[in-house]
Structure 1
Amino acid sequence: MAELPEPALQALIGAALRGRAPQVETLLAMHPGAASRNVHAAAVLLDAEGLALLLEAGPDSAQRAGPGGATPLALVGASRMEDDQRAAAAAKVLLSAGADPNDGRALFAALEGERTSLLDALIAGGGDPTSSDNPRRVSLLHWAVDLCWKPGPVRRLLEGGANPDARWGPLDETLLHVAVRRRRLDGVRMLVEFGATVDAPTKGGDTAWRHALRRPFPEVAEFLASQGASTQLRPADELAVALLQVDLGRAAHVADAHPDLVASLNVEEARLLGDLAGQGKLAAVEFLLDRGADIEARGLDGGTPLEQCGWFAQPDVARLLIARGADIHASGCDHESTPLGWAVHGSRYSGGADGNQAAYLELVDLLLDAGATVDLPGDPPNVPGQRLYRDATETIRARLRERAFPDGVPL
């Protein structure tokens, strides 16, 4: 039978990845037997029988990249032709032919789609949920607890023997540290239930309880203390608690007793400045800056204090940071953005964004007045500002059209 034409294959894959069943049916009627003619079509359609026949004729195709660089197993994981059992069956065929379950796509897609049968098949076929040796450079479990919280699949992985103390990243965080950082009390409870070490330290010596104390997430700190976590405070913790309460007298007492404390905070402790900035604690931010805090210290999602102001709609603190020399072009955060990008993205997606449009508008004006540019990393070279404009709310778009795109908006 003739090979499936490339345009038809791309259309079929696109429809299946979006779960558009009527469009898939139309394409299959136009191209009968598609799943028996192409391994990538069979994969995205979750056709285990078709895959078996194709792999029998060409076993090496189990790892062959298709449109967009996706392997057949990655397409099984990403397919939105919702049938967990069929997906698991298709995955087993590919795994038996040598497909790599640690390709950085299949496991992640299975967890995101909460397809536990597929997840089980991938783990049984050699998938490692605690390894970061994949193209994403992050373990499945850390990613799930950090960015894609799905309690059911995470519990399934832990029940299957995944290590609750698995570590990852430059800070050597355990899963418990990540769950605390994201204020996932249900995740913290689950990890403790499966034996996570409550006092495990990060590279900088932080425990999960200290993480919770300095955010501050009191309900998380209280739970960890009830589970036996050490509640001993270090000077850096005492300073953080005082500043989070904007108790400048107490903060000064701690800082005076330890003159080098602020300037010598480690990477985890130094994010205090960004946390305070995001919470709008102007006096506390000024206190740290006056005592030598790093104005570019990175915190949440790798963002600078100015970027935290952008996300959390804090124009007054942003004004102070800009006056003190904060980098308005800072990039390198987890989201490949800038302070202006964080503000625009926050105007649409942050919690309570609808009620903060005036503050976001003020931030956009502040940053543009200071010389911020509209192009972000990842913009097409000939369309600067495209990401920024697409992210913006209508209120922010109107201001961008007026100030940044006088010759027309980027399409």
Structure 2
Amino acid sequence: MSKFIQPDTLKTDKVVPFSGGAGNEVWSMLEACAAGRTEVVRELLGKKPSLSVCSWAYYSPIHFAVKEGHAEIVHMLLEHGADITATGVSWVDTPLQIAKDRGHSGIASMLEEHMERTLHSNTLGDTVAALIRERKESEVIRLIAEHPDAVRSSDERGNTPLHWAVLTRQLKLIDFFIEQGADTEARRADGCQPVHLVMEGDYFYRANRNLPGEAIRNHWFLLGYLIARGARYDLYTAAAVGDTDFLRDSLAQDPGRAVVKDASGRSALYYAAKHGYEHAVKKLLEHGADPNQAEEGAPNGAALYAAAAGNHLSCAKLLLEHGADVNANVESSGNPVFIAMSKGYDEMRDLLYMYGGTVTLASACWMGRMELVGEILAADPSAANSGDDFGPLTLAAGFGQASIVRLLLKYNADLNRPWYVNNHMGYAFRSGAEMVKLLLEHGADPNLTSWLGVSYLHVLASQGNIELAKLLIDRGAEIDAVDDEHCTTPLGWAAKYGQTEMAAFLLERGAKRAPAGVPEWASPIAWASRRGHQSIVEMLR
């Protein structure tokens, strides 16, 4: 792989937040899986089995093992609990899809068998899920009648039909599935049960984007409905609704429950703090709940962040008095000071500052707070290059803060540092041509690629953004660059993602239909054919 070089952040024996291990051991696992070093992988897993689910930049060991066709390593990772459903980057496919695309049929069969055995995931589950999302109620009922086992099948992420009925808030289907024997406690790959999707939503299917206007808006009604239909009422749901009586009785029987997380990896303390239930928070803390306990997306605890996000001052004060880490970060969400400040909760912000809270430079850039950015940079000029992909420059560019971008550039913000998931240019695409021009005029390399050889033009091709693609090509972007993720050119990415107008534009600008250095399975026409984009197939012929 062209840029598969150990990131500086992973050159440490200390635990790297959100990676699942110490930097060097995480890198050793990723590199060994990519290179097919079977004995190294076996040794690492023997010492620390949880490395099967470590990651860097949302790439996990099994991603590389599958991609490179190392079947024995794939088998080992699966035995140690590797998650084959997770994809955190928009242009990264699931391991199963990768195996199919690359012709690794044996690995594809292994993954399918594993998904069927552990999640009851199969094509029938995918079909039912699609019908539920399309709100084709009668077709769903007919299909389940013809295939009764489908009520316990799941899609590729482990969502059962009941999960999807909850996500789409269709009461009739919820009733129907339960009557047909659906498990109200069924867990998908990330551990989430239907009740968790009510309380926390879903990253990939968001109610505000996907639900039609006539769907149920009040999710608490849905929680009560599920419990009435047999879902378990436990410490976590009680904390979420402020039932301190239930908490008291439950904890009296077993005080240790206060530190046990639910199937989704969240604590009862988090739920109580998120919804501002002071008495519930107090009761949990009295029984040993730890506000700094690692939980889903929060290696140093999420309760204080949740309280700050809801402006629940009394809960936040209780947590701080019990030693909550005032600067604990939540993945992709900043720290408590940031969320309080961004929402305009001045009293909460002041409380957090009283306990040592700080705002990071990246967060100040995100919010467009020039005065904070200026103060932080004056005190520490090197902060301009702090953070990895999502550092100050990325957030300023992505949120249209042109003045702050210029200030960061005055402090020598690096426009061409290595990137892994996304960076300032990828985020600048959201802000538009003027921001992209600003970065290019100050020295951004139009051909800078990620650690997997993904160029800016590859990304734009997948998005179909012809205006910015033209701008980059005019500035020297290589039109036939080949990446290491999909092993093809920007034209191949346009073909893969069905961007017909982009494909036509790239051909007009001289992109090769059959580029050199591209394997046959990854040629533009092969991608278009596999994904069923017939108009692009005809164009490429």
- Shorter chain as denominator, the TM-score bin is 0.5 to 0.7
Structure 2: gaps (5+ residues): 1-121, 208-218, 241-259, 514-523, 534-541
The one-letter amino acid of 1:229's match is L
2:472 aligned residue:
367
The one-letter amino acid of 1:273's match is L
Distance 1:88 1:158 in 2: 37
On the 8 A contact 1:209/1:230 being kept in 2, the answer is yes
Q: Partner of 2:395: helix, strand, or coil?
A: helix
Deviations 1:234-281 (A, max 9, x none): 69659958x946579x93x86465455545x4569x722212222444
Deviations 1:280-312 (A, max 9, x none): 44554354345454546899x953111110122
Q: Does 1:330 align with 2:443?
A: no
2:352 aligned residue:
229
Identity over aligned pairs, percent: 11
The one-letter amino acid of 1:402's match is E
Deviations 1:313-340 (A, max 9, x none): 222233146x2447633268xxx98644
5 Å-filtered alignment, 1:10-409, equals: 14-16=130-132, 18-24=134-140, 27=143, 34=146, 38-41=148-151, 43=152, 66=153, 68=155, 74-79=160-165, 82-83=170-171, 86=175, 89=178, 94=183, 99-100=186-187, 104=191, 106-107=193-194, 109-110=197-198, 111-112=201-202, 114=219, 115-117=222-224, 120=227, 122=231, 124=233, 167-169=295-297, 172=300, 174=302, 177=305, 188-189=309-310, 195=316, 197=319, 200-203=325-328, 207-210=335-338, 217=342, 219-222=343-346, 224-225=348-349, 228-230=351-353, 240=364, 244=368, 251=374, 255=377, 258=380, 260-262=382-384, 265=386, 271-282=391-402, 284-289=404-409, 291-295=411-415, 303-313=422-432, 314-320=435-441, 323-325=443-445, 328-330=448-450, 339-340=456-457, 343=460, 361-368=466-473, 369-371=476-478, 384-386=492-494, 389-390=497-498, 399-400=505-506, 402-403=508-509, 407=513
Q: Partner of 1:104: helix, strand, or coil?
A: coil
Q: Partner of 1:329: helix, strand, or coil?
A: coil
Moved more, 114-123 or 229-238: 229-238
Distance 1:132 1:339 in 2: 40
On the 8 A contact 1:330/1:338 being kept in 2, the answer is yes
Distance 1:87 1:326 in 2: 54
The one-letter amino acid of 1:124's match is Y
Number of matched residues? Answer: 325
Deviations 1:19-57 (A, max 9, x none): 3124346657xxxx536xx3324x4xxxxxxxxxxxxxx
Cα distance change on mapping 1:302 and 1:240 into 2, 3 Å: same
Cα distance change on mapping 1:208 and 1:34 into 2, 3 Å: same
The one-letter amino acid of 1:276's match is A
Distance 2:454 2:189 in 1: 29
Once the two structures are TM-superposed, the CA of residue 90 in structure 1 deviates from its matched residue by 5.4
Cα distance change on mapping 1:277 and 1:68 into 2, 3 Å: closer
Structure 1: gaps (5+ residues): 1-5, 44-65, 146-153, 181-187, 348-359
TM-score, structure 2 length as denominator? 0.42
On the 8 A contact 1:275/1:308 being kept in 2, the answer is yes
Distance 2:279 2:189 in 1: 20
Q: CA RMSD in A?
A: 5.9
